[in-house]
Amino acid sequence: MNPEISIKELINSFDLDQKFKNIASKVIDNKRINIKEGVLLFEKGDLGFLGVLANYVREKKHGLKVFFNRNIHIEPTNICIYNCKFCSYARKIGDSEGTWEYSKEEIINKVKEYDGIPITEIHLVGGVHPHRDLHYYGDIIKSIKEIRPNIHIKAFTAIELEFMIRKAKMNLEEGLLKLKEYGLDSIPGGGAEIFDSEIRKEVCDDKATTEQWLRIHETAHNLGIPSNATILYGHIENYEHRIDHMNRLRELQDKTGMFNTYIPLKYRKENNKLGYIGEVSRLEDLKNYAVSRIFLDNIPHIKAYWPMIGKETTQLSLSFGVDDIDGTIDDSTKIYSMAGAEDQSPTLTTDKLVQLVKDCGKIPVERDTLYNPIKIYNYIK
């Protein structure tokens, strides 16, 4: 944002209805917008206005900084007991094509491939395998920590956790404490999908409920395990559903303060049962990032997951409230490539990530999982 032009001057440059002026005044005065106002921003907000307001919030929190980390994804299996209509990833035991089940040894060998390489995070998620419980995965975490004791392990969506803890015949608090003992450091935000019960019933009726997802994250937070949060947008939900989803996250964050980042995940249409509805536009992606940044006043970071939306849209998102672009990944995830994402071989070197950020006039910051800066780069191109 041009420091010579105040945010109020920028807002006044738009031909705005009084309702939008009131929303802008609230945001500038650090006051929370309500659900009705959030829906209004989605339904009738001019994209330029949304970008200016979201960028104001973003720069107030983080200046020109854009965060990334050196991470890899390991997906132990895509065998899954659930049948989500939006999923292009899951397979059943006995399926003849596209199925994998990595053994503990194979997973450890994948980690060993990065000996001497300064990754700081392993992101461990996959399908909900019917025969694998908390102790199976906990032993894998423990073994990883034995060879990379300082690595941060962010592992298992709430959907995976609900099943593996139940299968181990433990209650939620016992299970999360045991995983923490094994070496779990934080949990990702996946599995949230959309919280509205009717929409959830339509797209993922057989998996853990909204209440279970929220309870798992709240329990983790109370045990000192931070987490991320997500939404799956651009399928059969509407704007009211998106704001309801964010409001529930905002309320939980008010209680615990332990969500690190919010990650809007775009529905991708290839190879799944909802493909007939198509995909939302890039403009809708940018609107979604902007409204998310404006509405979620208490979640510090908004992440654009670049393997999902592509590098170009990721760069655009940095002007619409986004301050984090995930990490190097190193072609180690298949969840979105199997659904038709733009980056079919998702990998970026640190140098390329830094340049991607610099090309947008922003300051690249390598971080750890908890957003402690590791290196702040000169922002000159």
Q: What is the pLDDT at residue 352? A: 87
Beta strands in the chain (DSSP E): 65-74, 121-124, 152-155, 227-233, 259-266, 301-302, 324-329, 363-367, 373-376
State pLDDT tens for residues 244-273: 999 999 999 999 999 999 999 999 988 889
pLDDT at 5: 66
pLDDT at 94: 83
Position 3 scores a pLDDT of: 45
Which burial class, exposed, middle or buried, applies to 345 when counting CB atoms under 10 A from its CB (0-12, 13-18, 19+)? exposed
How confident is the model at residue 331, as a pLDDT? 46
The contacts found for 172-179 with CB under 8 angstroms, 24 or more apart, are 172/215, 172/216, 172/219, 173/219, 173/223, 175/134, 176/216, 176/219, 176/220, 176/223, 176/225, 177/223, 178/134, 178/135, 178/138, 179/134, 179/137, 179/138, 179/141, 179/155
The predicted pLDDT at position 308 comes to 86
Set out the domains of the chain in order of their start, with CATH numbers: 60-376 (3.20.20.70)
Cα–Cα distance measured from residue 373 to residue 65, given in angstroms and rounded to the nearest whole number: 10
**pLDDT of the residue at 341:** 43
Residues in the chain, pLDDT under 70: 1-5, 329-347, 379-381
Q: In terms of Cα–Cα distance, which of 267, 265, 283 is closest to 275? A: 267
pLDDT of residue 344: 45
241-260 as b/e, with b when 16 or more CB fall inside 10 Å?
bbbbbbbbbbebbeeeebbb
* Measured CA distances, 128 to 77, 191, 274, 300, 312 (Å): 8, 11, 21, 30, 33
Burial per residue of 194-210, b for 16 or more beta-carbon CB atoms within 10 angstroms, e otherwise: bbbeebbeebbeebbeb
